[in-house]
Amino acid sequence: MKQAYFLTGTDTEIGKTFITCALLQRARQLGLAAAGLKPVAAGTDAAGRNDDVECIRSASNVALPTAIINPYCFKAAIAPHIAAAEEGIRIDFATIQASCATAGEQADLLIVEGVGGFCVPLGVDQSTTDLAVALGLPVILVVGMRLGCINHAVLTAEAIAARGLSIAGWVANRIDPAMSRFAENLASLQALLPAPLLGVVPHLPGGSAGAADCLRLPGEAAFRL
User: Are 153 and 143 within 8 A, CB to CB?
Assistant: yes
How many Å apart are CA 183 and CA 212, to the nearest integer?
Answer: 21
Choose the catalytic residue: 2, 16, 38, 75: 38
Q: SS3 of 100, please?
A: helix
Give 113's contacts (C-beta < 8 A, 6+ positions apart): 7, 8, 16, 17, 20, 36, 37, 38, 39, 52, 56
Q: What is the largest CA-CA distance in the chain?
A: 50
Residues in the chain: 225
- DSSP secondary structure code for residue 109 in this structure: E
Catalytic residue list contains 38: yes
Positions marked catalytic: 38
